[in-house]
Amino acid sequence: MKKNIQLLDDFVYTVMNRKRKQLAEQGQEMEKEDILSRFLLEKEKSYSNIDDKYLRDIILNFMIAGRDTTAGTLSWFFYMLCKHPHAQDKIAREVQTVIKMQDGEGKAGIESFSDYLTEEAINSMQYLHAALTETLRLYPAVPLDGKCCFSDDTLPDGFDVNKGDLVHYQPYPMGRMKFLWGEDVDDFRPERWLNNEGIFVPQSPFKFTAFQAGPRICLGKEFAYRQMKIVAATLLYFFKFQLWDSSREVKIRTMLTLQIDGGLHLRAMHR
Ligand code: HEM
């Protein structure tokens, strides 16, 4: 444990020092303001109470919270799309339509594609948004989340908990409960998130708990959607995907986050 913590600390401090050096060299002319630079600039202010250890924890928190969650969700998403080719085609068509509207000249090439992936374009990909959300319902990146009671309390259903008790809420089973989602709970159906006009309609975060709910809801939720939509739209615009071995059963790797055991092996073909 000690050795592993040291490994993580060394990594984070190296990242921090590199950025510090970069900032000193480039000063206010820094082209891209990433989150670490913002904290470092904040830290320099006289009233700031951010010390190096605190900053290390923030950076580590963002890395832990932001990497495996989106990466794992994208694996499950492509797994779902291979199992449901009609949904895969529908997303590809949606991306093509949106990009064509921006481009106005037929199929954009890889060089120009990212220019058309504007905020407006990403926001108008409603079916893709629904398909990612449906993936998270069935395969929430944080399948089980533990909390420690700070004081004796009574839960809304009357259940008493005591100070120090460990309580879990469980997005994985909650996403598969018939009384919450209906008889077709086991089906991958992005349409359940869309209204008649094809617009995404969010559910209460206390029902769809993949990002947690309340004041400590995931800080990176919107960022995560944007990141996943950019990756998914780019890949699906240019490629069609199939499972490398459709007879291989996909298994869950039990970790803090929900991963596919051994990774997901795909065959990619030009669209
Ligand atoms: C599919 C993607 C993601 C899912 C499903 C997800 C889910 C969650 C969940 C369940 C929590 C609550 C954990 C707890 O009990 O404390 C959380 C917290 C958090 N997430 Fe995410 N997350 C995702 C992506 C991201 C990304 C990309 C970032 C940042 C770049 C991020 C930043 C955070 C932070 C900073 C917290 C702590 C918030 C706080 O304690 O106030 N997350 N996330």
Task: Judge whether 71 lies within some domain.
Answer: no
Residues linked to residue 169 through DSSP beta bridges, in sequence order: 145
Task: Judge whether 72 lies within some domain.
Answer: no
The three-point CA angle 226-227-228 to 5° equals 95
Label residue 256 by pLDDT band (50, 70, 90).
Answer: confident
Q: Which of 94-98, 198-202, 228-232 has the least mean pLDDT?
A: 94-98
Q: Quick one: which of 12, 109, 121 has its CA closest to 58?
A: 12
Mean pLDDT for 39-48 is 76
Measure CA 134 to chain center: 12
Label residue 106 by pLDDT band (50, 70, 90).
Answer: low
- Cβ 32 vs Cβ 186: under 8 Å: no
Residue of the CA atom closest to atom 1 of ligand 1: 70
| Same domain flag for 161 and 215 | yes
Q: Give the residue, out of 211, 218, 225, 230, with the most ligand 1 atoms within 8 A of its beta carbon, to mutate for a pocket test.
A: 218
Task: Judge whether 217 lies within some domain.
Answer: yes
What's the confidence (pLDDT) of residue 20? 87
Task: Judge whether 35 lies within some domain.
Answer: yes
| Domain span at 8 | 2-66
- Out of 27, 45, 66, a domain closes at 66
Q: For ligand 1, say whether the CB of 174 is within 6 Å of any of its atoms.
A: no
Q: Please state the domain count of the chain.
A: 2
Record the tokens describing residue 82, joined without a space: 């291979």
Residue of the CA atom closest to atom 18 of ligand 1: 218
| Same domain flag for 55 and 158 | no
pLDDT at 224 over 70: yes
Q: For ligand 1, say whether the CB of 211 is within 6 Å of any of its atoms.
A: yes
| Same domain flag for 86 and 50 | no
| Same domain flag for 83 and 48 | no
Cα 131 to ligand 1 centre (Å): 19
**Four-point Cα dihedral 51, 55, 58, 63, nearest 10:** -160
Record the tokens describing residue 69, joined without a space: 């969650």
Residue of the CA atom closest to atom 40 of ligand 1: 216
Q: For ligand 1, say whether the CB of 135 is within 6 Å of any of its atoms.
A: no
pLDDT at 47 over 70: no
What CATH number is associated with residue 206?
1.10.630.10
Mean pLDDT for 79-94 is 98
Mean pLDDT over each residue of the chain, to the nearest integer: 92
Mean pLDDT for 250-268 is 93
**Single-letter code of the amino acid located at 99:** I
DSSP strand pairing (145-148 vs 266-270): unpaired
**Could you give the C-alpha distances from 60 to 64, 67, 213, 235, in angstroms and in order?**
6, 11, 22, 29
Task: Judge whether 231 lies within some domain.
Answer: yes
Percentage above 70 pLDDT, the chain:
94
Q: Of residues 248 and 178, which shows the higher confidence score? A: 178
Mean pLDDT for 38-49 is 77
What's the confidence (pLDDT) of residue 112? 83
| Same domain flag for 162 and 201 | yes
pLDDT at 39 over 90: no
Task: Judge whether 265 lies within some domain.
Answer: yes
What's the confidence (pLDDT) of residue 91? 98
Beta-sheet strands, E only, within the chain: 145-148, 153-154, 160-161, 166-169, 239-243, 252-253, 259-260, 266-270
Task: Judge whether 73 lies within some domain.
Answer: no
Q: Is 218 annotated as a binding residue?
A: yes
| Same domain flag for 86 and 210 | yes
What's the confidence (pLDDT) of residue 188? 98
Q: For ligand 1, say whether the CB of 172 is within 6 Å of any of its atoms.
A: no
pLDDT at 127 over 80: yes
Biggest alpha carbon–alpha carbon distance for the chain? 64
Cα 107 to ligand 1 centre (Å): 36
What's the confidence (pLDDT) of residue 242? 97
- Out of 12, 41, 66, a domain closes at 66
pLDDT at 83 over 90: yes
- Cβ 76 vs Cβ 139: under 8 Å: yes
| Same domain flag for 11 and 105 | no
| Same domain flag for 27 and 161 | no
- Out of 10, 43, 66, a domain closes at 66
Task: Judge whether 252 lies within some domain.
Answer: yes
Mean pLDDT for 196-216 is 97
pLDDT at 44 over 80: no
pLDDT at 221 over 80: yes
Query: What values do phi and psi take at 242, rounded to 5?
Result: -135, 155
Sign of torsion over alpha carbons 80, 86, 87, 92: positive
Per residue in 7-17, pLDDT (tens digit) is: 999 999 999 99
Query: What are the helix and strand counts (H, E) for the chain?
Result: 11, 8
| Same domain flag for 122 and 181 | yes
Q: For ligand 1, say whether the CB of 75 is within 6 Å of any of its atoms.
A: no
**Single-letter code of the amino acid located at 165:** D
Q: For ligand 1, say whether the CB of 216 is within 6 Å of any of its atoms.
A: yes
Q: Give the residue, out of 54, 69, 172, with the most ligand 1 atoms within 8 A of its beta carbon, to mutate for a pocket test.
A: 69
Q: Of residues 104 and 252, which shows the higher confidence score? A: 252
| Same domain flag for 39 and 108 | no
Mean pLDDT for 128-152 is 97
Residues near 38 by beta carbon (within 8 Å), at least 6 away in sequence: none
Cα 78 to ligand 1 centre (Å): 21
| Same domain flag for 131 and 50 | no
Q: Which of 1-15, 49-63, 124-138, 226-240 has the least mean pLDDT?
A: 49-63
What's the confidence (pLDDT) of residue 26? 78
| Same domain flag for 184 and 61 | no
